[in-house]
Structure 1
Amino acid sequence: MDLLLILEKGFFAAIAALGFAAVGNPSRAAFRYVPILAFFGNIIRFSLMEYAGVNIAVSTFFAATFVGFLAVAFAYHARYPIEVFAFPALLPMIPGRFAYRSLLGMIRFMETTQDVAQEQYLPEIISNAIIALLTMFALGVGVAIPLFLCYKASFRMTRGEAK
């Protein structure tokens, strides 16, 4: 049952990544590689969170780094920049639930006039906003590491000089 849940998370992330990739009008190669990247990235993140007890930001960092390095390999074969594959695959990992809860808490905070209620909303707002921001930061840093480490290779890949 656990394996089915893990595969389900990866499958739906792959479908979402295909949708995000289609918005940018990419090459056909993107449609082959983006779902694979999203699938494995989300499996790694979900498994780290559920079975290793790692928090969402750290799990996202490791998943984004893995996706970035795998995108380097795919970019080499497809002769397209790494970003074409990596960025759409990372979009399903955006922490929408935490951002939504933070904004909803802010709206409730502004609507209420009771000091006790405001004091209850404030920690929720801050906690959810910090989790969302740290997770977004982890996505950016995680994918940037392979991009910076493999910059020259990426530059050569798109110019046809790599062999």
Structure 2
Amino acid sequence: MEWLLLLEKGIWFGLAAIGFGVLFNVPKRTLLPIYIMAAIGGLFKVFLIHFEINVILSTFVGATAIGFLSIWFAHVRHAPPPVFAIPAVIPMVPGIFAYRMMLGLMHLSGKIDPNTFNHILSETVNNGLKVMFILMALAGGVGVPLLITRKESAKEIKIKRIGFPRA
């Protein structure tokens, strides 16, 4: 894979994330970290797909990188981690597989040649399952780092003791 093409894809991942960040009205101080995280996460995904790693696993690795980076940027920029993670991970949503699944469902709902029915059905189910598993990989990749590190930072939370009257 050409490095220039890889760099271009990283730029587009970052720009798409900036667009979603602006759409979600995030603070201006978070836009550069969102760009960096989306570019890094997207590059992980594209790089692993280039080396013939499954698209679901490569998406999970990219989303996990975004999840861990969002925690670091949250401490640096003083904003909650989802403010960084959600706009950065949205460009990795599997639009083409969802589009192909919907086209297959439309073909299956109309008159179809019995000879091609099984092929179209298997392609539609395949694309639908890819969409489902990629979305689960995105949610898990972003969510697991937040859950893991939340355990550590919860130790510092001070909770007021409520005194119960003694009988």
Query: C-alpha displacement at 1:91, in angstroms?
Result: 0.3
Letter in 1 for 2:14: A
Q: Does 1:123 align with 2:118?
A: no
Query: C-alpha displacement at 1:156, in angstroms?
Result: 9.2
Larger Rg belongs to: 2
- 1:24 equivalent in structure 2: 24
- 2:67 equivalent in structure 1: 68
CA–CA distance in structure 1, aligned partners of residues 86 and 153 of structure 2: 15
Query: C-alpha displacement at 1:105, in angstroms?
Result: 0.6
CA distances 1:62-106 after superposition (whole Å, capped 9, x unpaired): 111111101111000111100000110000000000010001011
CA–CA distance in structure 2, aligned partners of residues 75 and 49 of structure 1: 29
Q: Which runs of 5+ in 2 are unaligned?
A: 157-167
Compared with structure 1, are the counterparts of its residues 19 and 79 closer, same or farther at alpha carbon in structure 2 (3 Å cutoff)?
A: same
Compared with structure 1, are the counterparts of its residues 74 and 68 closer, same or farther at alpha carbon in structure 2 (3 Å cutoff)?
A: same
- 1:160 equivalent in structure 2: none
CA–CA distance in structure 2, aligned partners of residues 154 and 112 of structure 1: 58
Query: C-alpha displacement at 1:154, in angstroms?
Result: 6.3
Q: Which runs of 5+ in 1 are unaligned?
A: 158-163
CA distances 1:120-146 after superposition (whole Å, capped 9, x unpaired): 210010110111111110000011111
- 2:47 equivalent in structure 1: 47
Q: Percent identity?
A: 35
CA distances 1:37-58 after superposition (whole Å, capped 9, x unpaired): 000000000000002x111100
Query: C-alpha displacement at 1:150, in angstroms?
Result: 1.4
**What value does the CA root-mean-square deviation take over the aligned residues?**
1.7
Aligned length: 156
Compared with structure 1, are the counterparts of its residues 155 and 18 closer, same or farther at alpha carbon in structure 2 (3 Å cutoff)?
A: farther
Question: TM-score scaled by structure 1?
Answer: 0.90
SS in 2 for 1:26: coil
Question: TM-score scaled by structure 2?
Answer: 0.88
- 1:6 equivalent in structure 2: 6
Query: C-alpha displacement at 1:113, in angstroms?
Result: 3.8
- 1:78 equivalent in structure 2: 77
